[in-house]
Amino acid sequence: MGYKVVVAGATGNVGREMLNILAEREFPADEVVALASRRSLGTEVSYGDKTLKTKDIEGFDFTGYDIALFAIGSEPTKKYAPIAASQGCVVIDNSSLYRYDPAIPLVVPEVNPEAVEMYKNKNIIANPNCSTAQLVVALKPLHDRAKIKRVVVATYQSVSGAGKEGMDELWEQTKAVYNPTKDVPPKKFTKEIAFNVIPHIDVFLDDGSTKEEWKMVAETKKIVDPKIKLTATCVRVPVFVGHSEAVNIEFEEFLDEDEARDILREAPGVMVIDKRENGGYITPKECVGDYATFISRIRQDSTVENGINLWCVSDNLRKGAALNAVQIAETLGNRCLKKG
């Protein structure tokens, strides 16, 4: 007997990707229901070789369903997640709403799979921010070997992280560059994104950092180790899908770059592409549609006592969102629910 699964927000980028990944990974589901807002009622979405018609999330009865994957944003999640949880359905939430609640587990299955067992506290599990998810997959195996003291990360985040509107804005502005008669002013972003980079994601905080940067700090501490010091600069770049990160790591003890490379080659969810030659590294365009977090440019940092630099790239709609949510569902099933 398999699981009864709900995907809430099934018409959005992440919701559609959740349905794709459930089918691709042959998640043991006896029934999958696609939910959306009333204005999208009846919209058809793909689930493997099947087509599902979306149902209205308003008034939906979650009783009898095992797992609900939520990709609907914080405000609607605040309304519907407690309803689903109270009706016995475990919510795996992709929004930021529950990530910092100490009673709710924040899970990346390659890093802290045991944390799913905390789902019993509120019947809710949180999915981390996309930029954090790929980072901690790379950090954890290195931390286990040499204890990380400090991380300095600069992100290069694709416009799909801002949803369909972000992708549309990049597309329309790019076309407008070649057709100067049409002006496409920024709406989703604070400045023009086409042929530009914007060092600003989410709102500014009092200390001058942005909330996206704060999320990476708080989530890395919660998922990996509260003692890790992390500073981030998060930048939006004119790439449709795939987040990249330049990562500098300082350890408590020396870690040789060759050993670091070997550790990462063996780490779950990681693919190392690291040749010191033209093209011997991964770019965001090449990671689209892949499950892995790719690591390149692994090298010693001689400016600190125990430092390593690396380049980290992943499909943010997959590992950064939909894939991680499905992996949480798989981990929850294997460790706790034990059906299918």
Return the percentage of the chain with pLDDT > 90, whole number.
96
Dump pLDDT digits (tens) for 84-123: 999 999 999 999 999 999 999 999 999 999 999 999 999 9
Question: What distance in Å separates the CA atoms of residue 237 and residue 118, rounded to the nearest whole number?
Answer: 36
Mean pLDDT computed over every residue of the chain: 97
234 catalytically annotated: no
The predicted pLDDT at position 39 comes to 87
Angle between helix 257-266 and 130-146 (nearest 10): 120
In this predicted structure, the answer to whether residue 227 has a pLDDT above a threshold of 80 is yes
300 is in an annotated binding site: no
234 — pLDDT class (breaks 50, 70, 90): very high
78 is written with which tokens? 């605040």
99 is in an annotated binding site: yes
pTM of the model: 0.95
Contact, 105 vs 128, CB < 8 A? no
The predicted pLDDT at position 152 comes to 98
Dump pLDDT digits (tens) for 111-157: 999 999 999 999 999 999 999 999 999 999 999 999 999 999 999 99
Which listed residue (89, 130, 234, 287) is catalytic? 130
11 is in an annotated binding site: yes
Dump pLDDT digits (tens) for 313-337: 999 999 999 999 999 999 999 999 9
The predicted pLDDT at position 1 comes to 82
Dump pLDDT digits (tens) for 265-310: 999 999 999 999 999 999 999 999 999 999 999 999 999 999 999 9
340 — pLDDT class (breaks 50, 70, 90): low
261 is written with which tokens? 């490379």
Which listed residue (89, 143, 234, 243) is catalytic? 243
β 55-56/67-70 pair status: unpaired
**What are φ and ψ of residue 173, in 5° steps?**
-70, -35
Contact, 265 vs 143, CB < 8 A? no
Question: What distance in Å separates the CA atoms of residue 320 and residue 311, rounded to the nearest whole number?
Answer: 16
12 is in an annotated binding site: yes
186 is written with which tokens? 């920024």
In this predicted structure, the answer to whether residue 216 has a pLDDT above a threshold of 80 is yes
The predicted pLDDT at position 42 comes to 87
The predicted pLDDT at position 221 comes to 98
306 is in an annotated binding site: no
- Determine how many CB atoms are found less than 10 A away from the CB of residue 5: 26
The average pLDDT across 13-27 equals 96
9 is in an annotated binding site: no
25 is in an annotated binding site: no
SS3 302: coil
161 is in an annotated binding site: yes
> Between 38 and 127, whose confidence is greater?
127
Question: What distance in Å separates the CA atoms of residue 232 and residue 77, rounded to the nearest whole number?
Answer: 27
- Determine how many CB atoms are found less than 10 A away from the CB of residue 182: 11
Question: What distance in Å separates the CA atoms of residue 110 and residue 331, rounded to the nearest whole number?
Answer: 10
Domains of the chain: 1-126+320-334 (3.40.50.720), 129-157+196-312 (3.30.360.10)
Distance (Å) of CA 166 to CA 76, 151, 169: 20, 29, 5
| Type and span of the H or E element at 173 | helix 163-178
200 catalytically annotated: no
Q: Which residues contact 62 (CB under 8 A, 6 or more apart)?
A: 6, 68, 83, 84, 87, 88, 89
